[in-house]
Amino acid sequence: MKTRQIFLPVSVFLLILFARDFAQAQYTTWDESKVNRLYATRKFDEEQLKARFDKFIGEIDSLNLTRKYPEIARKMLSRQPREQQTGVKMLAQSQDIDALPWLLLLLNSENDDVRIWSGYALKEIVSSLALLRRDSDFPAFILLKPLQKTDVDLKPLAWIVLRMLRGEETNHISYAITMARYLNLYEFEDEIARHQNNVNPAVTNAMKWALDELKLQKKYDSNELKKEK
């Protein structure tokens, strides 16, 4: 029993060291020069996005997860994909930002199911935390109130969302589109719209939904919807 207790923190320490590098490696298979030319008119600075992402993830104490959910941590550190998948599914319901570095690491899993479920769990955490701010005065719409001091700002995740949007994993693209909406990433509208010809309906449906939602959110943010209430 003592051996397991010692092994877990060491494994988590290694995970923290490599999680961000693995997350980046998952989405660096394209020719960067071509990407830069293609997105020459983009509305954001990717270096700044990366710096904010690194800072945000670096400030998360991933060891908290081992204290709060030791069994989930053991499953995540297992070499068995089925165990990892179970752990990921459990984290999807956690609404816990301490889970983020763990999920980022498994976005690079060689196992398809683990990789897909990790993206799903990331999307679920982002979405569920955002929906805590849903404005109940507009029940017909999903509109998010501004962040309060007690709310966690997840916008630094924009960098990994961008990587997923430009990746080749269909499920990850769909999840990234959903996250872009719930993070109010208006600057990614063009990135989202370029998936209009995707052959997968899950992606095109998510794209149409997200762009419509962002349009409504903009009106809400500028108080236009309150006039129409």
Q: What is the pLDDT of residue 36?
A: 45
Which pLDDT band holds residue 26 (cuts at 50, 70, 90)?
A: very low
- As a whole number, mean pLDDT of residues 55-66 equals 92
Which pLDDT band holds residue 223 (cuts at 50, 70, 90)?
A: confident
- As a whole number, mean pLDDT of residues 120-146 equals 96
CB neighbour class for 42 (10 Å; exposed up to 12, middle 13-18, buried from 19): middle
Helix (H) or strand (E) holding 205: helix 201-221
Q: How many CB atoms lie within 10 A of CB 64?
A: 14
Q: What is the pLDDT of residue 39?
A: 42
Q: Can you give the pTM of this predicted structure?
A: 0.83
**Residue in this structure with the two tokens 């997923």, named with its chain if needed:** 164
Separation of alpha carbons 220 and 226, rounded Å? 7
